Amino acid sequence: MLTDRRVGALVLLGGLLTLLLWYLAPWAVPHRLFGGEGVLLNPFGHHLPLGSLPQGYRDTWLLPYFYLALAWLLLTLVLGFRAGPKGLYLLGGMGLGLFLLLAFLFYGSVGQANAPALAQGEPPPLRRFSLGLAAYATLAFSLYLLLLGRLRAPGGLAFLVRRRGAVVPLFSLLLAVLLGGLIVALIKESPGEAKGLREALMVKLDLIAYTYQLLFSPLVSLPGFLQSLLLATPLIFTGLAVALGFRGGLFNIGAPGQLILGAIAAMLVGVYLPGPRWLVLPLAILAAALAGGLWGALPGWLKARFGAHEVINTIMLNYVAASLLLFLISTNEYRFFGQPVYLPFKYPGYEARSYEIRPEARIPLWTDLLAPGGELSFALPLAFLLGLGGYFLVRKGLGYRVLAGLLGMVLGYLLGGLLPGPQVALGGELTSVRLNGSFLLALLALLFFHFYVFRSVGGYELRALGLAPKAAEYAGVSSGRKMVAILFLSGALAGLAATHYVLGGGIDEYRLKQSLPYSVGFDGIAVALMGQNTPLGVGLSAWLFGVLLTGGLQVNLQLGISRELVAVLQALIVLFIAAGGFLPRYFTDPLRAAEVELRAQEAGKGGAR
Amino acid sequence: MSLDAAFFLALLLSTLRQTTPLLLTALGGMFSERSGVVNIALEGIILFGALSAAVFVERMEASLGPAPWLPWAGVLVAMGVGGLVAWVHAVVSIRYRADQIVSGTAINLLALGAPSLVLTYFYGNATNSKEVQSRLPLLGPEGFALSPLVYLAFLLVPLAWWVLFKTPWGLRLRAVGEYPEAADTLGVNVYRMRYLGVVLSGVLAGLAGAYLSIGFLNQFVRGMSAGMGFIALAAMIFGKWHPVGILFSTLLFGFASALAIQLQGTDILPAVLVQAFPYVVTILVLAGFMGRSRPPGAVGKPYEK
């Protein structure tokens, strides 16, 4: 499969592409203006818009560095044809070193230019700088060489195929990013003037790279990171909801409707049920889960009883739920057959929204959980530690372990709450992020998914039903009842997503509003597929989409590209994952994957003999 | 307002108008499912068709000025775009053997986001296009004038019946959807028939989209399909994958939508609840009748030679 000649061709292809990008794309961007235009460094000629570089800036290192990199690339192209795994590792390692050297040189020269101003306590002249696409091409080509090296090592292909749960989504992400770049290039005209075709292409390529830098910028800033967790919270719930359905062989596209019903129930309890906090808050959360679950169970029952396909019914119920939401909070006066009917739910005023959730039913913000009153609290970390300890130290059945874990959590929470903590001051940028306790609920939901689906009898039945419905039925699973239960649980998870919005103030107010972003229910499909229906995968991909959504805001702000770019990327990822990342069949077909493994094992034995 | 003759006449005309996009889409879905491919992407394809028709006509108007042939060109563009989007679904689900429901859902998700990018590019807002002047003309006597696409949709019913049941092509299409192995043995190109079925469904859904944006309204509005693609699928199931059955089931749904529209502004039922009518009817119909109908044997299953 991976002959010498094929590896040689792959190296050649990658190398030529890298060379092309080196020629066309900027190597580094020391200074970027608002609107995306920047000073672009390239050994074949810079792009220098107005408002250029400060006096002390030097980039004389660029040309010698370029020749060094060129030497490496030529070496790779010549040796890559016959290099074994070790040779490819060496070449890839050298490339990584070159990338680090460039980063070192570039940040050094930027620091030098900024030094005088910083010494005088003034704002530095170069604030927005970054490595360019050509530098990332070097990095990507080095990693590609390392990957090829791993593939050439014995059992390399089997290694990759065994990890297809991660390979397919990541490859799909890569493809979607490439296609997304093309879309950006099409819909956004390049900022600034360009002399000649090469410079125009350089500016265009830089625009694409800058878009993705902004999209992924929450990875490198703390407020952005917290904001990405905030946006990931509802996605974890809806992603788990869809994933649970998938595991049971049911496709739940009804998460938006289940979310709406959850939000309505949470609002009803949160606004109208008086009582102490320890009673009202759990009841409100429970109500959200229950309402979402019942709304999900309905299509499950229709399927079990009448054989009506759940996909169409869940979608129809989304529309019905949206009407219900409008009915409750858009106005308080209706006429039924001429008779006036009054509802008590809408808050007076122009906007369609409910009354405020009572303070007792609100989910606290992260600042109140982590540092109430400016004093760091040990309650959560201790609860986490003791909970983990309780789970892993008890060596008995699962039930005992979970019980010990829960006890540990409660104990840790109480103990930590009593301990005095040091004073901390959080900046305004951090406290303005409205991340709330729903995030912890989402983490608990991930744990629940893991234990229910992979460690319980009910979960075993669920997976059996998903993999082989007939076999499960003959083995004694009551398929109808199970389908209702699966969609109930799935709907309950989607309903819990509403706690973030209504009880946690995720839409800036502790109310049910018409602007409830219930379409995150659809995004759950992308999250579940990207996460391959495993709890870890769902958590990570929800976070990835949280990052993209946060970054999408930056893209919109700085470049004026619609935030829907992120939605398009999500849809493309789903499409590509559905097609198995367009990878060879042994990545999608378990039987053929096993064939690859077997062949690798035989080859391994042959080598030993 | 009292329920008089004018009300019922308006209701009748409205039923015909509401049925048209459903009928076109459901007939398309029938060709796709008869060939063995579930096309749940119809909802998104309607949106892509509506978007491309409205944007194409508006852009052409901006450069050439209004012309009587422009909306017809827009209809053709919408059909082409619809066919193209369906072709993507076909490639992913036939060539790459993807789960057809997931692949279709991906295209629907794309149709939620992509129009905003296009609209922002052309018009600077993410929700609707500029209004077009060159709408499709109305045909018929004063007071009963309907869009030509309405007549076309109803004419397509006997045509689809004839193609599906009286031509060799229709026989092959059905064979491929029922029992592809047998069809393959007889020398029918299974993949090509399926591609044709899916692309045809996209062409018809694109036509339905054009009807919405330049026949029924005069602009593209975000989310203007409002679940029609899914309702059409339900109608197709209810109509037992048969053109005549589909005609009657889409008329039922069209009537439910028309009733919802006609009841708005009256004080009989609140408008927000009445809007949920067609969706509730869909659920009830699927629950009541689906058990008794039989889908094509190989529908939803990727074929492997």
Summarised one tens digit per residue, pLDDT across range A550-597 is: 999 988 888 888 888 889 998 999 899 888 888 888 888 888 888 888
Q: Is the pLDDT of residue B143 over 80?
A: no
Q: Which of A300, A454, A296, A398 is nearest to A462 (CA)?
A: A454
Rounded to a whole number of angstroms, the distance from the CA of B118 to the nearest CA of chain A is: 8
Pairing of β A28-32 and β A130-131:
antiparallel
Residue with tokens 């309950």: A492
Q: How confident is the model at residue A416 (pLDDT cuts 50, 70, 90)?
A: confident
Angle at B289 between CA B288 and CA B293, to 5 degrees: 160
CB atoms within 10 A of CB A338: 8
Alpha-carbon gap, residue A456 to A399, rounded angstroms: 10
Q: What is the pLDDT of residue B192?
A: 94
Q: Is B5 on the interface with A (CB under 8 A)?
A: no
Residue A605's pLDDT is what?
66
Mutate to test the interface with B, among A314, A570, A574 (most CBs of B within 10 A): A574
- Rounded CA-CA distance A554/A312 in Å is 36
| CA atoms of B278 and B252, how far apart (whole Å) | 9
In angstroms, the CA B233 to CA B211 distance is 18
The answer to whether A390 and A458 have CB atoms below 8 angstroms apart is no
Report which residue type is found at A263: A
Residue A1 pLDDT class (50, 70, 90 cuts): low
Mean pLDDT in residue range A409-416: 88
Task: Indicate whether this complex's ipTM tops 0.85.
Answer: yes
Tell me whether residues A575 and B96 touch, CB distance under 8 A: no
Structural element, H or E, at residue A257:
helix A255-272
pLDDT of residue B291: 54
pLDDT band at residue A427, thresholds of 50, 70 and 90? confident
Counting Cβ atoms within 10 Å, is residue B304 exposed (0-12), middle (13-18) or buried (19+)? exposed
pLDDT of residue B54: 94
| Residues written for chain B | 305
- 3-state SS assignment for residue B224: coil
Q: Can you read off the two tokens belonging to residue A246?
A: 């998938």
Q: What is the DSSP string of B115-164?
A: HHHHHHHHHS-SSBPPPPS-PPPPBSSTT--B-HHHHHHHHHHHHHHHHH
d(CA B235, CA B13) in angstroms, rounded, equals 20
Residue B4 confidence (pLDDT): 75
Work out the minimum CA distance from A259 to partner chain B, whole angstroms: 18
What is the distance between the alpha carbons of residues A15 and A481, in angstroms, rounded to a whole number? 57
Choose among A251, A338, A526: nearest Cβ to B101.
A251
Nearest CB to A568; choose among B105, B117, B269 = B117
* C-alpha separations of B171 from A475, B24, B27, B193 in Å: 40, 21, 16, 11
- Per-residue pLDDT band for B1 (boundaries 50, 70, 90) equals very low
Instruction: Indicate whether A93 pLDDT > 90.
Output: yes
pLDDT digits (tens, 9 = 90+) for B285-297: 888 765 556 788 8
Calculate how close chain A gets to B89, using CA atoms only, in Å: 9
Q: What is the pLDDT of residues A217-270, one digit of tens each?
A: 999 889 999 999 999 999 999 999 999 999 999 989 899 999 999 999 999 999
Instruction: Decide if A146 contacts A10 (C-beta within 8 A).
Output: no
Return the pLDDT at B293: 65
Alpha-carbon gap, residue A416 to A410, rounded angstroms: 10
Contacts of A329 in chain B (CB under 8 A): none
pLDDT band (50, 70, 90) for residue A544: very high
Mean pLDDT of A202-210: 90
- Does B128 lie at the interface with A, CB-CB under 8 angstroms? no
Place of tokens 């060489």: A145
In this predicted structure, the answer to whether residue A608 has a pLDDT above a threshold of 50 is no
Q: How far is CA A151 from CA A1, A140, A146, A154, in A?
A: 11, 16, 9, 8
Instruction: Quote the pLDDT of residue A609.
Output: 38
**pLDDT tens track for B240-280:** 899 999 999 999 889 989 988 888 777 788 888 888 888 89
Q: In sequence order, which residues have a C-beta less than 8 Å from that of residue A557 and are 6 or more positions away?
A: none
The answer for residues whose C-beta is within 8 angstroms of residue B132's C-beta and 6 or more apart is B54, B57, B58, B61, B71, B214, B218, B219
Q: Give the per-residue pLDDT at A170.
A: 92
Q: Running DSSP on this structure, what letter comes out for residue A217?
A: G
d(CA A580, CA A167): 10
| Residues A14-23, mean pLDDT to the nearest whole number | 93
Helix, strand, or coil here: B257?
helix
Helix (H, G, I), strand (E, B) or coil at A443: helix
Integer Cα distance of A569 and A530 in angstroms: 12
Q: What is the mean pLDDT of chain B?
A: 89
pLDDT-based confidence at residue B2 (cuts at 50, 70, 90) = low
Lowest mean pLDDT, pick from A421-425, A596-600, B213-217: A421-425
* Across A455-459, average pLDDT: 90
| Tens digits of residue pLDDT in B161-193 | 999 999 999 999 999 999 999 999 999 999 999
For residue B134, what pLDDT band results from cuts at 50, 70 and 90? Answer: confident
pLDDT in tens, A471-496: 998 988 888 999 999 999 999 999 99
Backbone angles phi, psi at B39, to 5 degrees: -115, 85
Q: How far A352 CA lies from chain B's nearest CA (Å)?
A: 13
pLDDT for A51 equals: 65
Return the SS3 of A101: helix
A312 CB neighbours in chain B (<8 A) are 230, 233-234, 237, 282, 286
A31 bridge partner residues: A39
Give residue B216's pLDDT.
86
pLDDT digits (tens, 9 = 90+) for B200-240: 999 999 999 999 999 888 889 988 988 899 899 988 988 88
Q: Between A408 and A605, whose confidence is greater?
A: A408
Helix A196-215 with A133-152: angle, nearest 10 deg: 70
Q: Express each pLDDT in B82-133 by its tens digit.
A: 999 999 999 999 999 888 888 998 999 999 889 999 998 898 888 888 888 8
In B, residues 93-122, which contact A (CB 8 Å cutoff)? 93, 96-99, 101-103, 105-107, 109-110, 112-114, 116-118, 120-121
Q: Which of A147, A134, A59 is nearest to A98 (CA)?
A: A134
For residue A526, the chain B residues in CB contact (below 8 A) are 109
Query: Positive or negative, the Cα torsion across A518, A519, A523, A525?
Result: positive
Q: CB–CB of B82/B248 below 8 Å?
A: no
Residues A272-308: tens digit of each pLDDT: 999 898 899 999 999 999 999 999 999 999 999 888 8
Average pLDDT over residues B3-24: 88
More confident residue, A81 or A467: A467
How many Å lie between the alpha carbon of B275 and the closest alpha carbon of chain A? 7
